[in-house]
Amino acid sequence: MAIRTAITRRITSSSSSSILFNSRSMSSWWGNVQPAPKDPILGVTEAFLADPSPDKVNVGVGAYRDDNGKPVVLDCVREAERRVAGNLNMEYLPMGGSNKMVEETLKLAYGEDSDLIKDKRIAAIQALSGTGACRIFADFQKRFSPDSQIYIPAPTWSNHHNIWRDANVPQRTFHYYHPESKGLDFASLMDDVKNAPNGSFFLLHACAHNPTGVDPTVEQWKEISYQFKVKGHFAFFDMAYQGFASGDPERDAKSIRIFLEDGHLIGCSQSYAKNMGLYGQRVGCLSLVCEDEKQAVAVKSQLQQLARPMYSNPPVHGALIVSTILGDPDLKQLWLKEVKGMADRIIGMRTSLRENIEKLGSPLSWEHITNQIGMFCYSGMTPEQVDRLTKEFHIYMTRNGRISMAGVTSGNVEYLAKAIHEVTKAA
């Protein structure tokens, strides 16, 4: 009995020690994890929502709002939803997504009568909006050009850096924005293109550059394309605002068309978040121009292989909405009318904001507000001036001075102008 009791005590003690060890081991698995820094854009919205002031204004978020500051669902989207609801399909899409959606999307970027489409020289898959398209391309670049790096404009959408960083692609920046003129630093941009090693990868914004709203002119795009040809560079276009920039999808695709006319084999990311208001549907497309059909088949197979372990296959609903709209002539015309309406409201708010600041007697030039294009205005305000806007006037934007023009309305533009004038008049 004494021996049995002693053995039992040892077993119990051993088990307790084991449980204690395992408990300590498990509790320490994530003990070294620190809170991630807040996203500079999403953090603005969080602060805005927490502010009880009735005068608060949010010009930080990159999502369209109507003149009452309300989110918008386009009529063409509502009609497409009605049609889709009558023919529900919850089956998996292929790894490459909806063929119909991809076909219609390529026409927007490359042209209705594109020979590249006819000759099946474009490898393309449905992606999780523009972010997903960029990420799959970044992984594709790393896998098939492992020693390459990516040249990214300074500044750019902050998530671009995250995407290529997490794909383990080394990054360099090239000159783009000129702070003094609040326009394009074209000379420095061209110098960087010329000085980059032959065959470098460059990320370009097709239109409505985020965050600056500064785009090259048609003639400047032609010079950029020519120099890319001389150096053998690869151009990857992120086109998040086609149609939303000028109101004309053809005009907004001009940069891409120039490169195609010069014979470049480009890559392109497309998104329907802004131009169809499908923010939450996460629907987009990644495409790469190839030498021939055989190469396009091989490249598409590899893009699909990259997608497989990430999310297996893309969601179906947003793709059905897009293909329904673009595949029906009447709905497509309605979309073209509505996207022009959104662009025109933004352009009108640019004019109104500039006029309201100027009539207050500002000593500064504000012509860049109307010279820039798209959803954002790179105001030129300093982080300290932005902090004052938030603290004294309850106006929220990112600290780099980027104003989301979608948040400017006829009801708040005068208040916004007065606040901007107040914090900048002594500059």
Rounded distance between C-alpha atoms, residue 403 and residue 340, angstroms: 20
Provide the token pair at 54: 């009735």
Distance CA 338, CA 245 (A): 13
- Verify whether residue 157 is a known catalytic residue: yes
Does the annotation count 55 as an active-site position? no
Both tokens assigned to 118: 């006819």
119, 260 contact by CB (below 8 A): no
Active-site residue among 182, 274, 300, 366?
274
User: Using an 8 Å Cβ cutoff, are 272 and 284 in contact?
Assistant: yes
- Looking at 139, 185, 215, 238, which residue is catalytic? 238
Selecting among 139, 157, 182, 185, the annotated active-site residue is 157
- Is the preceding peptide bond at 211 cis, omega within 30 degrees of 0? yes
Q: How many CB atoms lie within 10 A of CB 313?
A: 16
Alpha carbon 206 to its chain's center: 11
Annotated active-site residue 366? The verdict is no
- Which residues are CB-neighbours of 282 under 8 A, at least 6 positions away? 128, 129, 132, 273, 314, 315, 318
Q: Catalytic site residues?
A: 157, 238, 274
